[in-house]
């Protein structure tokens, strides 16, 4: 049985307890919505926990504190070294999280991703970046969006993915 818990002031202690005691990834994402500095260390602790990367990225997307940015970049490098681009959801989470940091560094990283030579990989990254910068628009990403060439079917696919990975 699943119970839906809202991230409100009455539920903070319960949500934090679920994260601490049960290592609940969904609760981690909810905890991040409170944006409390005292939770930063706890959120960071999930970065190296096997199987919690999506939860970590979701938490950072909800609470894009500058102290998490280096972890996100490290995760990008880990994934690039693995050279596993079959998992589109993984790259959607990564790109959505990166888009929460509208910096020149993020913009350059997106541009470098779009230079990928392998067509399959470039397709996954292009769609993931497009979804991320459409969901979190910022003028610093405008030049990137123009570089991404997608047909109408691909844009519809991205809209569907956006609803799935909201």
Q: What is the pLDDT along the chain (166 residues), one digit of tens a residue?
A: 456 889 999 999 999 999 999 999 999 999 999 999 999 999 999 998 888 988 999 999 999 999 999 999 999 998 888 776 666 688 889 999 999 999 999 999 999 999 988 898 898 999 999 999 999 999 999 999 999 988 889 888 887 877 776 6
Give per-residue burial for 87-100: e unless 16+ CB within 10 Å, then b.
ebebbbbbbbbbbb
CA dist list (Å): 52 to 1, 31, 116, 122: 21, 14, 27, 25
Q: Indicate the pTM of the whole model.
A: 0.89
The radius of gyration of the chain from alpha carbons, rounded to an integer in Å, stands at 16
């Amino acid at each position: 049985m699943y119970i839906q818990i809202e991230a409100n002031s009455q539920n903070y202690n319960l949500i934090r307890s679920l994260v601490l005691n049960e290592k609940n990834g969904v609760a981690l994402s909810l905890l991040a919505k409170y944006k409390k500095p005292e939770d930063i260390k706890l959120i960071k602790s999930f970065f190296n926990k096997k199987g919690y990367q999506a939860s970590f990225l979701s938490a950072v997307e909800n609470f894009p504190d500058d102290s998490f940015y280096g972890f996100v970049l490290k995760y990008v490098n880990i994934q690039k070294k693995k050279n596993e681009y079959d998992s589109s959801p993984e790259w959607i989470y990564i790109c959505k999280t990166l888009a929460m940091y509208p910096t020149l560094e993020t913009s350059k990283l997106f541009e470098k991703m779009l230079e990928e030579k392998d067509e399959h990989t470039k397709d996954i990254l292009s769609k993931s970046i497009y979804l991320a910068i459409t969901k979190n628009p910022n003028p610093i990403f405008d030049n990137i969006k123009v570089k991404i060439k997608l047909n109408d079917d691909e844009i519809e696919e991205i809209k569907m993915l956006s609803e799935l990975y909201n």
